[in-house]
Structure 1
Amino acid sequence: MPTQRTYQPQKPVGAAPALLDWSAKSHWLPQPQPCQYCGKPASLVDDHGRPSHKVCKEKAAG
């Protein structure tokens, strides 16, 4: 019996990276903490509560 494959959509080559909306107060830290990607102080957290710069997160999601 053949196994079923699930469809995994591919990001088009040359497509612009997804822009994230971090305007909610829940994304802001009271004190900067090291970004999970570059290690420099970041005043924001991602959707999982990990400190990161918006630009670093967008590049990583790329």
Structure 2
Amino acid sequence: MRIIIDRDRCIGAGQCVLTAPGAFTQDDDGLVTLLPGHEDGTGDPNVRYVPGACPVQAVTVSDD
């Protein structure tokens, strides 16, 4: 699984963290970031739902 984050598009809504808290967090500016070691989507089974939860589609998840 591959996760792509467009931090320029992120508005800090936090839906990624609410949907998959085991993989995502927000930095000091409130923007989405992956938790260390979760770049491949491991850590939270709900990672696949994050693109649909994000109001500005700042996160893309694809199968490798």
Tell me the TM-score normalized by structure 1: 0.25
More strand by share: 2
More helix by share: 2
Indicate the structure (1 or 2) with the bigger Cα radius of gyration.
Answer: 1
Higher relative contact order (CA 8 A, sep 6+): 2
Tell me the TM-score normalized by structure 2: 0.25
